[in-house]
Structure 1
Amino acid sequence: MITNPADPQVKAIARLSQRSRRDEAGVFIVEGPQAVRELLTFSPNSVVDVFYTAAFAEKHGAIIQLAERSPAVMDEVSDKVLEVMADTVNPQGVIAVAQTLSHSLSSIDEVRLVAVCDEIRDPGNAGAVIRAADAAGADAVILTGASVDLHNPKLVRSSTGSIFHLPIIEHDDLADVIEWLMGRGVTILAAAADGESIPSMSTILTKPTAWLFGNEAHGLSEDARARADHIVSVPIYGKAESLNLATAASVCLYASAFAQSGA
């Protein structure tokens, strides 16, 4: 059992909150029972370490059993040690360390529905869009430009495990991604406030589509808009001025999912 917060291993895990340390070590942290369970279920061979408290083990025996079946090194730790390791103020009793995710465009087996997030800087928003894309049955999420790091602890938490369910691809060049998608017959839809209303797109939404979502403050660039087949907006029927990024993305992705399923 690890009880010393000054233990070198404890300090090394705590430093993984920094992107430079994650990139150097090739690992990242996953916090909380739901995210750790999804990691152990969908990507068990990528798990390096699992740190847990006695109270967590007593309450979440099924997750401990999953960890025992994985290649992970397991260590019980004190509450204080977990607090030092964690990125959150009130950790939930478990932290896993896993190898960083590595997907490319070739990881997408079938292209029916894709979310492309360009220049999205807020990790909570990015994680929420990934979660929405997963729920809507998307085939992949692509982070382009100077978007937040996929392994940012807040992004990992806000995705609630969805980053382990579908390919999440980091690709610097949005133009290259759009060209790749168009080459596979995918219709490119740019989400913006001044576009065609989603209800008018019912026929187009039945086809393979990729939704482009832009920066929280500035939206999509003019270049991104120019490359899209259609500019599409979420209609506002009430008095709200707008929707936040994650909510608008959910509406857009589910519109495609409903149309493609024939629901």
Structure 2
Amino acid sequence: MRGYFGIGVEQISKEQNVGTIARSTHAFGGSFFFTIKPDVDIEAMRSSDTSGAFDHMPYYQYDHASKLELPMECTLVGVELTDESIELPSFRHPLRAAYVFGPEMGHLSEDMQAKCDHIVKIPMKFCVNVGVAAAITMYDRQICLGKFAERPVKPGAPLDTPRAKKDTLRRKIRSKKK
């Protein structure tokens, strides 16, 4: 996949959710993980992550949204179910992005929403678990920016595989006319 991304959660309170999100971030190739004002035991959080994600990507912790620091040219994308949010299937993911999710049974703070460059929502009837929302968002990013064949019009596998497309781009050598 091109570019990089990080995943963060604001005011999260359940170690299992943090561990699940960190593991998913690691599995989808995330570059870093962060929390803002977490209400969790860091050691319990690490024990709920069975992939060892915290040994393979940096973890950053901030006391407040205003303290959040991101790499230069990294776009902050909030994931929040609001009327004004962009629906995720219609959103073009930035090449360099950090995605931030709100707490269980809550929302991204107003300070965090104001800091975001974009706010997206997963189109559904009601909110899902924050770990599920994070995984859906990372999967959508992978589909959008990964090197996958276009989805076919009919059910089933694509007719043109990425390898087949590559072969069609070869330069054709013309034989000399006699």
| TM tier relative to shorter chain | 0.7 to 0.9
Alignment counterpart, residue 11 of structure 2, candidates 109, 115, 119: 119
Q: How many residues align?
A: 143
Name 2:65's counterpart in structure 1.
174
8 Å Cα contact 1:134-1:166 kept in structure 2 = yes
Following the alignment from structure 1 to structure 2, what is the Cα–Cα distance between the partners of residues 241 and 174? Answer: 25
Equivalent residues in 2 for 1:128-207 (5 A)?
128-152=20-44, 155-160=45-50, 161-177=52-68, 180-181=69-70, 184-194=72-82, 195-202=85-92, 205-207=93-95
Q: Which runs of 5+ in 1 are unaligned?
A: 1-110
Report the TM-score when normalising by structure 2.
0.73
Equivalent residues in 2 for 1:1-263 (5 A)?
112-152=4-44, 155-160=45-50, 161-177=52-68, 180-181=69-70, 184-194=72-82, 195-202=85-92, 205-236=93-124, 241-263=126-148
8 Å Cα contact 1:131-1:162 kept in structure 2 = yes
Indicate the SS of the match to 1:131: helix
Following the alignment from structure 1 to structure 2, what is the Cα–Cα distance between the partners of residues 174 and 128? Answer: 22
8 Å Cα contact 1:145-1:171 kept in structure 2 = yes
Residue deviations 1:125-160 (CA, integer Å, cap 9, x gap): 1111101111111101011213423212xx223211
8 Å Cα contact 1:117-1:147 kept in structure 2 = no
Deviation at 1:223, TM superposition (A): 1.1
Indicate the SS of the match to 1:151: helix
Residue deviations 1:32-75 (CA, integer Å, cap 9, x gap): xxxxxxxxxxxxxxxxxxxxxxxxxxxxxxxxxxxxxxxxxxxx
Q: Which is helix-richer, 1 or 2?
A: 1
Residue deviations 1:71-112 (CA, integer Å, cap 9, x gap): xxxxxxxxxxxxxxxxxxxxxxxxxxxxxxxxxxxxxxxx82
Deviation at 1:234, TM superposition (A): 0.8
Identity of matched residues, %: 25
Deviation at 1:206, TM superposition (A): 4.2
Against the structure 1 CA distance between its residues 228 and 214, is the aligned structure 2 distance closer, same or farther, given a 3 Å change threshold?
A: same
Greater RCO, CA 8 A, separation 6+: 2
Indicate the SS of the match to 2:140: helix
Following the alignment from structure 1 to structure 2, what is the Cα–Cα distance between the partners of residues 174 and 227? Answer: 8
Against the structure 1 CA distance between its residues 175 and 256, is the aligned structure 2 distance closer, same or farther, given a 3 Å change threshold?
A: farther
* Cα-Cα RMSD: 1.8
8 Å Cα contact 2:65-2:111 kept in structure 1 = no
Indicate the SS of the match to 1:253: helix
Report the TM-score when normalising by structure 1.
0.51
Following the alignment from structure 1 to structure 2, what is the Cα–Cα distance between the partners of residues 146 and 249? Answer: 16
